[in-house]
């Protein structure tokens, strides 16, 4: 094995050795490359940073919106009914 | 050898299928969509002529992806489908290019995976085990400058003061016409086999360490070790990767073995240092072809970046050099400065200046200079 080969192997092993020595007392974190889609929020996707097209708990994206609108309408109707009943009671 | 591969592969498939058949599915399934747009302005000078470009930044090109997973008892089954969609990608720019370039729609990931306490199996197109091992970088400026310079300069042709191009013989066709030599012919960070159709295994993480191995078509294989840990406010990340291309290219154009490593240290004050080192040794037909035209049997790369990162800002200076990648005696270097600001979540603005030099046996071509500025928006 040539001297140059040995030198290169030593350099690479040194990197791992340094990491091993320093890393033994460390708390691991998930390294994320700066060349990938960044972690964290997106301009349109919000805090999640991604659009959930389907979720087994809430269904499809469209269904989720419709359910949310439906729940909002029902809540508004109940509020309106309650207010009308209250007004009738007062009068 | 073929029978061994076939029987081993069948055994793995049957064992895993039996394992999954015994599991009870738990209904926790989602499908997500995400992506980014990354566009920049570039002003470049090759010492003879100048050019202005509007281009897609190939350091982190425009792309979108679908991901999803379902959790079984102890196993998570998932997928990642990712496409690159780039018009006039920066790795294809050269002085004289005055149109909108080509549109590329690339399959980046077509990957299925199975993950549990025993690690992770992946199959399909995706990162080979050693991809990224020469490019670990905590500086915050990798969106515009990092160890791989070819993403923003690879196709710039080395040019002399009189406008003539640097021409060199093609090792795979030595009696044919000489070819123009570009930055990518003389620079490489020797970073794995990028994304490929592979089967890959990753160990679980322990104390910040994890290891991976993968094999792809042509029986090319990779093995890598990684570390990412934080101690007393300091962050340290690094990796080492080894590649054996085996029979990957039937024409013998990828017959080499390669070792790459990188390490990056971010201090609590924001000062950071990143270093990368890579080495490639050629074998067989490719080695003989290279030697026959004045090439070298091996090549190495060095890269160093020093920076500061604080709040929404990051800045860095860099220097890199690749020796003997094309012809023996080549010293292809670059210097650069970069600045990145992230004023809002998902929005980066960046700028950089880079200069490239080639010292060769014989007259040296002119330096290539770039000024770049752009934005990456995650949607």
Closest CB to A51: pick one of B32, B235, B259: B32
State the pLDDT at residue A89. Answer: 54
Q: Which chain A residues are closer than 8 Å to B80 by Cβ?
A: none
Answer yes or no: do A29 and B28 touch at CB < 8 A.
Answer: no
Q: Are B345 and B177 in contact (CB under 8 A)?
A: no
Closest CB to B208: pick one of A8, A26, A56: A26
For testing contact with chain B, the best of A37, A41, A45, A62 (most B CBs within 10 A): A37
For testing contact with chain B, the best of A13, A23, A52, A61 (most B CBs within 10 A): A23
Q: Are B192 and B212 in contact (CB under 8 A)?
A: no
Average pLDDT (B1-22) is 55
- Euclidean distance between the first and final Cα of chain B, in Å? 48
Chain A residue with minimum CA distance to B208: A28
The span from the CA of B198 to the CA of B106, in Å, is 17
Average pLDDT (B232-242) is 95
State the pLDDT at residue B37. Answer: 98
State the pLDDT at residue A26. Answer: 72
DSSP line for B56-68: E-GGG--EEEEEE
Complex ipTM > 0.95: no
Q: Which chain A residues are closer than 8 Å to B28 by Cβ?
A: 56-57
Supply the DSSP symbol for A62. H
Average pLDDT (A62-74) is 56
Nearest to B45 by CA among B2, B95, B80, B79: B95
State the pLDDT at residue A54. Answer: 86
pLDDT band for A17, please (50, 70, 90 cuts): low
Residues of A with CB under 8 A from a CB of B: 4-5, 8-9, 11-12, 15-16, 18-20, 22-31, 33-38, 40-45, 47-57
State the pLDDT at residue A80. Answer: 54
pLDDT band for A57, please (50, 70, 90 cuts): confident
Answer yes or no: do B229 and A29 touch at CB < 8 A.
Answer: yes
Q: Which chain A residues are closer than 8 Å to B138 by Cβ?
A: 31
pLDDT digits (tens, 9 = 90+) for B141-178: 999 999 999 999 999 999 999 999 999 999 888 899 99
| Angle (nearest 5°) at CA B311 between B307 and B317 | 15
Q: Are B24 and B73 in contact (CB under 8 A)?
A: yes
Answer yes or no: do A31 and B136 touch at CB < 8 A.
Answer: yes
Answer with the residue of higher pLDDT: A60 or B351: B351
Answer with the residue of higher pLDDT: B358 or A19: B358
pLDDT band for A61, please (50, 70, 90 cuts): confident
Q: Is pLDDT of B1 > 70?
A: no
Q: Could you tell me the two tokens for B197?
A: 């159709």
Of B12-16, B46-50, B252-256, B268-272, minimum mean pLDDT range: B12-16
A65 Cβ contact list (under 8 Å, min separation 6): none
Q: Is pLDDT of B23 > 70?
A: no
- Quick check: helix, strand or coil at residue A13? helix
Closest CB to B230: pick one of A12, A26, A49: A26
pLDDT band for B35, please (50, 70, 90 cuts): very high
State the pLDDT at residue A86. Answer: 57
pLDDT band for A23, please (50, 70, 90 cuts): low
The span from the CA of A26 to the CA of A80, in Å, is 59
In whole numbers, what is the pLDDT of chain B averaged over residues?
93
Q: Which chain B residues are closer than 8 Å to A31 by Cβ?
A: 136, 138, 226, 228, 237
Q: Are A31 and B205 in contact (CB under 8 A)?
A: no
Closest CB to A23: pick one of B60, B141, B209: B209
Nearest to B82 by CA among B56, B61, B103, B59: B61
**A4 to chain B, minimum CA–CA distance in Å?**
10
Q: What are phi and psi of A5, to 5 degrees?
A: -60, -45
pLDDT digits (tens, 9 = 90+) for B215-226: 999 999 999 999
Answer yes or no: do B34 and A24 touch at CB < 8 A.
Answer: no
Nearest to B227 by CA among B205, B251, B194: B205
Q: Is pLDDT of B50 > 80?
A: yes
Q: Which chain A residues are closer than 8 Å to B235 by Cβ?
A: 29
The span from the CA of B260 to the CA of B128, in Å, is 13
pLDDT digits (tens, 9 = 90+) for B261-274: 999 999 999 999 99
The span from the CA of B145 to the CA of B58, in Å, is 11
Count of other CB atoms within 10 angstroms of residue A72:
10
Answer with the residue of higher pLDDT: B22 or B206: B206
Answer yes or no: do B236 and A30 touch at CB < 8 A.
Answer: no
Q: Are B78 and B67 in contact (CB under 8 A)?
A: yes
Answer yes or no: do B35 and A37 touch at CB < 8 A.
Answer: yes
Q: Is pLDDT of B76 > 60?
A: yes
């Amino acid at each position: 094995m040539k001297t140059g080969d040995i030198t290169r192997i030593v350099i690479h092993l040194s990197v791992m050795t340094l990491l091993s020595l320093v890393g033994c007392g460390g708390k691991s974190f998930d390294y994320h490359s700066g060349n990938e889609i960044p972690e964290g929020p997106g301009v349109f996707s919000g805090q999640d940073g991604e659009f959930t097209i389907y979720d087994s708990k809430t269904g499809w994206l469209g269904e989720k919106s419709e359910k949310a609108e439906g729940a909002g309408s029902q809540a508004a109707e109940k509020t309106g009914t309650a207010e009308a009943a209250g007004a009738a009671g007062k009068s | 050898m073929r029978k061994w591969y076939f029987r081993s592969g069948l055994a793995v498939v049957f064992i895993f299928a039996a394992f999954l058949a015994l599991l009870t599915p738990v209904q926790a399934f989602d499908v997500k969509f995400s992506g980014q747009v990354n566009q920049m302005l570039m002003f470049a000078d090759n010492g003879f002529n100048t050019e202005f470009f509007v281009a897609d930044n190939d350091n982190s090109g425009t792309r979108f992806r679908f991901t999803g997973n379902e959790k079984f008892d102890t196993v998570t089954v998932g997928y990642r489908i990712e496409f690159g969609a780039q018009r006039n990608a920066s790795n294809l720019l050269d002085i004289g290019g005055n149109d909108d370039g080509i549109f590329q729609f690339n399959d980046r990931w077509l990957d299925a995976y199975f993950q549990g306490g025993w690690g992770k199996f992946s199959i399909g197109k995706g990162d080979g085990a050693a991809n990224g091992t020469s490019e670990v970088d905590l500086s915050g400026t990798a969106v515009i400058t990092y160890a791989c310079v070819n993403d923003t300069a690879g196709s710039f042709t080395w040019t002399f003061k009189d406008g003539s191009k640097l021409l060199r013989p093609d090792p795979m066709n030595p009696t044919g016409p000489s070819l123009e030599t570009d930055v990518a012919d003389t620079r490489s960070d020797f970073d794995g086999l990028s994304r490929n159709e592979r089967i890959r295994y990753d160990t679980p993480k322990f104390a910040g360490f994890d290891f991976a191995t993968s094999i792809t078509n042509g029986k090319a294989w990779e093995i890598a070790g990684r570390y990412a840990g934080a101690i007393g406010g300091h962050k340290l990340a690094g990796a080492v990767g080894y590649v054996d291309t085996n029979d990957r290219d039937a024409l013998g154009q990828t017959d080499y073995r390669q070792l790459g490593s990188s390490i990056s240290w971010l201090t609590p004050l924001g000062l950071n240092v990143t270093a990368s080192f890579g080495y490639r040794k050629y074998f067989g037909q490719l080695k003989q072809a290279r030697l026959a035209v004045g090439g070298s049997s091996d090549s190495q790369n060095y890269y160093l970046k020093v920076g500061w990162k604080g709040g929404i800002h990051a800045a860095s200076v860099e220097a890199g050099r690749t020796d003997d990648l094309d012809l023996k005696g080549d010293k292809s270097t670059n210097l650069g400065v970069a600045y990145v600001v992230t004023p809002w979540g998902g929005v980066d603005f960046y700028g950089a200046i880079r200069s490239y030099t080639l010292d060769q046996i014989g007259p040296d071509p002119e330096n290539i200079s770039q000024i770049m500025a752009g934005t990456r928006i995650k949607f």
